[in-house]
Amino acid sequence: MAKIAKKLEIKNKLGLHARAAAQLVQTVHQFSAEVKISKDDQVVDARSIMGLLTLAATQGSKVHVEAEGKDAEEALHAVEKLFEKRFYESE
């Protein structure tokens, strides 16, 4: 099984708040790969909105995203695009 990881920065003004976390969960659910996100030694399942919110990731925070499974590369690319597009928020 492929396992890949990348460090990403949260660029949107409100950070990883409820709407952004929901978009991340929705994106990850499109893939079979297991996706984990960590910040400051806290690791959460990217399919868990509550887990994501406990990271308290604000604008400028850097998180480590790890994907494992047959479509890990595609999953990580989709997550990276979401971060780059600031979770499709205006700021």
> In this structure, what CATH number is given to the domain that contains residue 15?
3.30.1340.10
- Residue 11 in this model has a pLDDT that exceeds 80: yes
- 77 among known catalytic residues: no
How many other C-beta atoms are found inside a 10 Å radius of the C-beta of residue 85? 12
pTM beyond 0.75: yes
Return the CA Rg of the chain: 12
**What's the number of domains the chain is made of?**
1
- Residue 1 in this model has a pLDDT that exceeds 80: no
* CB-CB contact of 53 with 21 (8 Å): yes
Please give the pLDDT value at position 90.
82
Beta-strand ranges (E) seen in the chain are 3-9, 34-39, 42-45, 62-68
Span 71-81, pLDDT tens digits? 999 999 999 99
Residue percentage of the chain with pLDDT more than 90: 95
Task: State the average pLDDT over residues 52-71.
Answer: 97
**Catalytic residue of the set 17, 29, 64, 77:** 17
Domain span at 59: 3-88
